[in-house]
């Protein structure tokens, strides 16, 4: 391969289809092509087809259209501190530990040990590795030994009139050596494709690892959020029940109307009706978490993880855009598929060139086993053969064109994966800024609503406020409290989503998930 041809694979971003991706037939007649290919491979000892080079990263300096502020907004509320974006800072391999929860760390560790998806991905990687080791045998000679013995009777008629039949033994033993000279490099390209498949499975394992960790973290956050919402709703129910008792007492004293008592009773029933829906959601998160931990729903344990136990990371490491293509497992997977498609172009090209095979045999043939390798019983042979495809009904040509089309498809899928990866990061970064503003706004709203409820409640007890005013203040305070809980949970979940979109820091662990190293 010359340098110009190799460089066509170096960049996919400002990419026009390379020359080898056209559907033009190979130039020259079949015999001239075979001779040229044979001479070229003999002289340069390289494999035909394109030499793969990793695509370059998109030439951008940031993820978002507009520059992001260095920090998010903050309030004094718990879980609403400012977050600083640390561009280029290393993301730890165990990124979930940044949330500062021992219970969360234990959940992730348990999931990594027991989740069947991880075990499946590890097995797929071992299979791909063994396939690579098996493929190395194609580049080495094959040696086979064989032996057989026969006893047979032949008709005496073969010896003329009056001939007597003969019965005899015949023993054969031999060692055969065959070797296919990989002048065109087809076997090496096939090995290259299998190695790319192994790397694909390695990054598939990392992707499984990353997805599982993110799912456990977000499920635990959702469960903690629902627990807080259930607690807030239960407090509302208890408060509504106490207010109903007060109104009933006032009704007996003539200080409240029957309508107020009925309205409060209806409100209490509505509050109680909201609780089962939250409990159903919480139970679904509990069974989901059990599944992620490799357990049956009947074995699901209750994890007492509170939303306040999760620390919002003050510093958020953000990889540089130029590093993202090296760090996202899904991008690296698609890159290996592109590499595999490139190697298959070489395989298809090599199939159109001459195939040279060498073979040798040594053994013996005798009427007794003791004489197999003695004297006239010894036999041997040496042979060499060359095969040049001349006419296969267009099979080889169209298979090569199909391989080129498969490369074009893999290139387009690679670009799509990169685009989605950058979109994921941009969305997560924007979400963190928006989440901080939401927490800030809901915190102020909840503080004001709680103060208003306390004043209105006291005024209602003194008869200075109507029941309608009390009910409105009660509804507002509860809604803002739930909204604040959800906003805090969203901020935690979006932080986890950002770490996931940045690749999860697997490259800082030293070894791949499940102990597989590169």
Report long-range pairs for 42-46 (Cβ below 8 Å, ≥24 apart).
42/183, 46/1, 46/185
**Spatial CB neighbours of 472, under 8 Å, sequence gap ≥ 6:** none
As a whole number of Å, the end-to-end CA separation of the chain is: 28
Cα(426)–Cα(503) distance, integer angstroms: 14
- Sign of the four-CA dihedral 497, 503, 507, 510: positive
Whether the Cβ atoms of residue 54 and residue 315 lie closer than 8 Å to each other: no
Contact 493, 432 (CB under 8 A): no
- Phi, psi at residue 72, to the nearest 5°? -90, 170
Instruction: Tell me if domain 3-47+65-140+182-305+312-353+389-515 and domain 142-181+354-388 are identical in fold.
Output: no
* Confidence at residue 36, expressed as pLDDT on a 0 to 100 scale: 42
- Which helix H or strand E contains 260, and what residues bound it? helix 258-292
Question: In a 3-state reduction of DSSP, which class is residue 362?
Answer: strand
Query: Span 142-181+354-388: which CATH code?
Result: 2.20.200.10
Q: How far apart (Å, rounded) are the C-alpha atoms in residues 287 and 301?
A: 9
Token pair listed for 169:
């033994």
Low-confidence ranges of the chain (pLDDT < 70): 1-45, 75-80, 159, 162, 302, 510-518
Cβ neighbours of residue 70 closer than 8 Å, sequence gap 6 or more: 84, 85
Strand, coil or helix: what is 177?
strand
d(CA 290, CA 298) in angstroms, rounded, equals 9
Q: What is the largest CA-CA distance in the chain?
A: 142
Beta strands in 347-477 (DSSP E): 355-366, 378-387
Please report, for the chain, the start and end positions of each structural domain, with discontinuous segments joined by +: 3-47+65-140+182-305+312-353+389-515, 142-181+354-388
- Token code pair at residue 281: 């959601």
Which helix (H) or strand (E) segment holds residue 86: the answer is: strand 84-87
At the top level of CATH, which class does the domain 3-47+65-140+182-305+312-353+389-515 belong to?
Answer: mainly alpha
Q: Give rounded-to-5 percent helix, strand, coil for the chain.
A: 60, 10, 25
A 10 A CB-CB count for 232 gives 17
Do residues 384 and 367 touch, judged by C-beta distance below 8 A? no
Contact 187, 356 (CB under 8 A): no
Euclidean distance between CA atoms 270 and 134, whole angstroms: 68
Token pair 């004043």 is found at: 455
Closest CA to 301 of 312, 291, 309, 311: 291
- How far apart, in whole angstroms, are the C-alpha atoms of residue 446 and residue 223? 22
- Provide the β-strand partners of residue 146: 174
Q: Please count the helices (runs of H) and the strands (runs of E) in the chain.
A: 10, 6
Chain-centre distance of CA 348, in angstroms? 29
């Amino acid at each position: 391969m010359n340098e110009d041809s190799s460089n066509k694979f170096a960049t996919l971003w400002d990419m026009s289809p390379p020359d080898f991706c056209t559907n033009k037939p190979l130039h020259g007649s079949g015999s001239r092509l075979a001779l040229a290919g044979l001479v070229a491979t003999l002289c340069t000892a390289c494999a035909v087809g394109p030499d793969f080079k990793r695509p370059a990263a998109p030439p951008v300096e940031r993820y978002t259209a507009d520059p992001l502020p260095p920090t998010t907004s903050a309030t004094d509320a718990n879980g609403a501190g400012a977050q600083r974006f640390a561009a280029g800072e290393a993301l730890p391999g165990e990124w979930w530990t940044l949330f500062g929860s021992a219970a969360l760390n234990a959940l992730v560790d348990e999931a990594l040990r027991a989740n069947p998806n991880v075990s499946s991905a590890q097995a797929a990687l071992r299979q791909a590795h063994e396939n690579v080791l098996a493929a190395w045998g194609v580049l080495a000679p094959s040696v086979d030994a064989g032996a057989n013995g026969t006893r047979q009777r032949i008709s005496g008629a073969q010896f003329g009139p009056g001939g007597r039949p003969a019965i005899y033994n015949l023993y054969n033993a031999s060692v055969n050596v065959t070797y296919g000279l990989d002048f065109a490099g087809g076997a090496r390209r096939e090995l290259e494709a299998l190695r790319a498949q192994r790397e694909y499975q390695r990054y598939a394992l990392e992707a499984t690892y990353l997805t599982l960790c993110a799912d456990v973290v977000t499920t635990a956050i959702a469960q903690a959020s629902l627990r807080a919402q259930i607690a807030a709703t239960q407090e509302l129910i208890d408060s509504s029940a106490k207010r109903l008792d007060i109104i009933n007492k006032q009704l007996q004293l003539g200080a409240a109307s029957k309508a107020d008592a009925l309205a409060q009773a209806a409100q209490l029933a509505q509050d109680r009706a909201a609780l089962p829906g939250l409990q159903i959601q919480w139970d679904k998160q509990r069974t989901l978490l059990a599944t992620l931990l490799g357990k049956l729903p009947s074995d699901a344990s209750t994890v007492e993880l509170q939303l306040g136990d999760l620390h919002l990371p003050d510093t958020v490491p953000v990889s540089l855009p130029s590093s993202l293509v090296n760090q996202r497992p899904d991008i690296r997977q698609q890159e290996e598929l592109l590499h595999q498609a490139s190697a298959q172009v070489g395989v298809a090209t090599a199939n159109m060139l001459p195939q040279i095979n060498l073979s040798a045999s040594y053994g013996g043939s005798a009427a007794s086993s003791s004489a197999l390798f003695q004297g006239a019983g010894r036999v041997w042979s040496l042979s060499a053969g060359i095969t040049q495809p001349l006419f296969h009904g267009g099979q080889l040509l169209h298979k090569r064109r199909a391989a080129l089309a498969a490369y074009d498809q893999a290139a387009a899928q690679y670009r799509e994966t990169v685009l989605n990866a950058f979109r994921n990061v941009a969305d997560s970064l924007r979400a963190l800024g928006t989440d901080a503003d939401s927490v800030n706004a809901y915190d102020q709203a909840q503080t004001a609503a709680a103060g208003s409820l306390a004043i209105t409640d006291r005024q209602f007890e003194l008869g200075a406020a109507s029941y309608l005013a009390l009910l409105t203040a009660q509804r507002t305070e509860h809604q803002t409290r739930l909204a604040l809980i959800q906003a805090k949970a969203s901020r935690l979940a979006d932080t986890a989503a950002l770490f996931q979109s940045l690749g999860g820091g697997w490259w800082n662990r030293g070894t791949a998930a499940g102990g597989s190293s590169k």
